[in-house]
Structure 1
Amino acid sequence: MENTNNTNARGGLHIPMSRYSETSPADQAVTTAMMKAMRTIRSASSPAPAGQEELDRQRRGQKVLGRLAAPLLGLSWEPFDLNGLPAAWVRPERGHDPRKVVLYCHGGGYTSGSLDYSRPLASKVANRTGYEVLCFEYRLAPEHPSPAARQDALKAWDYLMLLGYGARDVVVMGDSAGGNLALALTLMLRDARRQLPRRLVLFSPWTDMTFSGESFTARAEADPSLTADYMLATRDAYAPGADWTDPLLSPLFGDFSGFPPVMIQAGSNEILFDDSARLHQRLLEQGVPCRMECWEGMWHVFQMFPLKQADQAVDHVARFLLDLF
């Protein structure tokens, strides 16, 4: 159910956004069971990737999560080498529009994530939109700290330009740290006076490495997936000793002049909720068209899971893109 009159009063913001909630007791039961399972997994894990052994375990776990997601019929998955970066095309086998493309930036706190991890959500996007999706595996911290991921994102962007796509043919999309990366890439393109992507779509973007949002502590008990310790550790691994107010690290503090329209989706139960809500506020204040959806009872990047609400959310993304092209 949609309610566009509510505001983010719990976080101290009063910016209108669309809110969605479970539509039936059955939906609620599935959501509750999945949240319980996620809390169990989280409680059995180390609070932060402190050592190489724990980091390797976490990276393997994310790959397994991606591989366990049921593949969608009617799509091809085509891995290849993108000038030294592992990459893959997700292509609808029928009825797709090869003139438009999505550049997908995976999440994982800049310390984990992979092609396998990006596959479930990238496949949903390709299925719903009919667009080809390019996934790429950027270098990870702490082995490769900032700015390695941004350099790799720019390499993926330049690859699309060399293939003959125009900037206006490209949607840049990302989840969590990938949302951070999508924003940083667009800032870099704008500052280099290059053409910008046609649209941005951000799933639970991490936009504030200073963690100054109220939700970072206020929603700690509600969040079944992320912890403050984990986020602090990944930040310190990615950008040790940095100025975390730098917009290329914390896009929330950036100048968004000239930005294309943006769509943001977040779950109400995530500690990074204010990273989305405050970004939404700043984009609107700077005159950037922006739509934000808050999905009640959902968690960080819920769209990748096998949930009715996840499929509905990706349907909304498809409408956002198809209506604007």
Structure 2
Amino acid sequence: MEKLQLGRKRKTDAEKPRMDPLMRALKALHSAGSPEAMTPEELEHQRRNQEILGRLTAPMAGMEYEELSIGTMPAAWTRLKAPHGDRRVILYCHGGGYTSGNLGYSRVLSSKLAHVTGYDVLSFEYRLAPEHPYPAAVEDAMRAWDYLMYRGYGAENVTVTGDSAGGNLALVLCRRLKAAGRWMPRALLLMSPWTDMTMSGASYRERVESDPMLTPEYIEAVRRAYAGDRDLHDPDLSPLLGDLGSFPPTLIQVGDHEILYSDSASLAAALRAAHVPCRLEVSEGMWHVFQMFPIKKAAAAMESAARFLLEL
């Protein structure tokens, strides 16, 4: 498998006039946006809007959506209506800085993933900070993993996917599985993953002006809500800083306008150093989790993800 691939494409003239209204809508969908929005009232408002906007914007044509409970945790299957008979599945960990995100939010990427891969996608509503700080989300991710194992899929049938904080969660889930001596997923698919809570990467300083989605102040606020006073060098918070040996083949997608760009680039380098097959795709002019947008570069990124899984 190719160790490192940089994919750069220019924004087309047809896409440029659509960016501003789309950016406002998806920025509202993706994160609380500022430390001032971390009050209980604002968080509840943000989470409620995510549920509504996610359900409205998710491309659900040709899809089936089945909600369920894993114990007390809400979860949902997103499937193609046409039967496909493939036993491979995607376990999707949503983003939102560990402080927001829900099943409605998850529908946008879960439906896109199901469409391009043909796989059934299981999303789950893990407990959120600050009400439920670390390790609540990790425990819930393990609960979702165990549910798939109980259903008889087997680790070799499961791709774990995550965007932003969900990418962090996907990596920490693999750490937990490895530490327990359990089988790892077939692959990891990470979109703009948050891998380093110490914020040591150069992009946190160098790309502040170019990032239309996130700010360092927001990252500081959500990490404080999730990690509290814990050592941010702990690999369960900053998986970039842990042992990545024996991790599954990984595709990382990131936009070059992100303050989290370094998190992706450094993760790719660390995985290669640990002899893990890894592909890094960088999209020029793109922002945090641009795959959620109804634009050509998002569609191309999703198609590339499907090809990556077919190549394994």
> Is TM-score (shorter-chain normalized) higher than 0.5?
yes
RMSD between aligned alpha carbons?
Answer: 2.1
User: 1:46 offset after TM fit, Å?
Assistant: 4.5
Q: TM-score, normalised by structure 2?
A: 0.94
Distance in 2, matches of 1:29 and 1:120, equals 22
User: 1:18 offset after TM fit, Å?
Assistant: 1.4
Quote the residue 1:174 is aligned against.
162
AA at the equivalent of 2:179: D
Q: How many residues align?
A: 310
Determine if contact 1:75/1:93 at 8 Å carries over to the other structure. yes
Distance in 1, matches of 2:27 and 2:67, equals 33
1:206-262 deviations in Å (ceiling 9; x for gaps): 000000011012111111111111110100000100011111110010101111100
Question: Among 183, 186, 209, which residue is 2:174 paired with?
Answer: 186
> Is residue 2:106 matched to residue 1:130?
no
Counterparts of 1:148-297 in structure 2, within 5 Å, are: 148-297=136-285
> Is residue 2:42 matched to residue 1:54?
yes
Quote the residue 1:8 is aligned against.
none
> Is residue 2:297 matched to residue 1:316?
no
Distance in 1, matches of 2:238 and 2:23, equals 28
Distance in 2, matches of 1:192 and 1:45, equals 36
Q: Larger deviation: 166-175 or 71-80? A: 71-80
Q: Secondary structure at the match of 2:100?
A: coil
1:45-92 deviations in Å (ceiling 9; x for gaps): 644433111211221222232122143321101011111100000011
Determine if contact 1:96/1:132 at 8 Å carries over to the other structure. no
Quote the residue 1:101 is aligned against.
89
> Is residue 2:298 matched to residue 1:306?
no
AA at the equivalent of 2:116: R
Q: Secondary structure at the match of 1:99?
A: coil
Q: Larger deviation: 209-218 or 54-63? A: 54-63
1:169-213 deviations in Å (ceiling 9; x for gaps): 000000000000000000100111000000000000000000001
Q: TM-score, normalised by structure 1?
A: 0.90
Q: Secondary structure at the match of 1:249?
A: coil
> Is residue 2:18 matched to residue 1:30?
yes
Q: 1:97 to 1:275 in 2, by over 3 A?
A: farther
> Is residue 2:105 matched to residue 1:117?
yes
Quote the residue 1:73 is aligned against.
61
Determine if contact 1:224/1:299 at 8 Å carries over to the other structure. yes
Distance in 2, matches of 1:51 and 1:134, equals 30
Q: 1:41 to 1:264 in 2, by over 3 A?
A: closer
User: 1:32 offset after TM fit, Å?
Assistant: 5.5
Determine if contact 1:268/1:297 at 8 Å carries over to the other structure. yes
User: 1:41 offset after TM fit, Å?
Assistant: 9.9
User: 1:36 offset after TM fit, Å?
Assistant: 6.8
Q: 1:213 to 1:313 in 2, by over 3 A?
A: same
Q: Secondary structure at the match of 2:65?
A: strand
Determine if contact 2:4/2:278 at 8 Å carries over to the other structure. no
Q: Larger deviation: 203-212 or 19-28? A: 19-28
AA at the equivalent of 1:282: A
Residue ranges of structure 2 left out of the alignment (5+ in a row): none
User: 1:24 offset after TM fit, Å?
Assistant: 3.0
AA at the equivalent of 2:162: G
Quote the residue 2:133 is aligned against.
145
> Is residue 2:73 matched to residue 1:89?
no
Q: Secondary structure at the match of 1:26?
A: coil
Q: Larger deviation: 151-160 or 57-66? A: 57-66
Distance in 1, matches of 2:174 and 2:68, equals 24
Distance in 2, matches of 1:253 and 1:140, equals 23
User: 1:40 offset after TM fit, Å?
Assistant: 9.8
Determine if contact 1:103/1:172 at 8 Å carries over to the other structure. yes
Distance in 2, matches of 1:52 and 1:147, equals 20
Distance in 2, matches of 1:189 and 1:70, equals 31
1:253-304 deviations in Å (ceiling 9; x for gaps): 0101111100000011111110000000100111000001001111100101
Determine if contact 2:29/2:53 at 8 Å carries over to the other structure. no
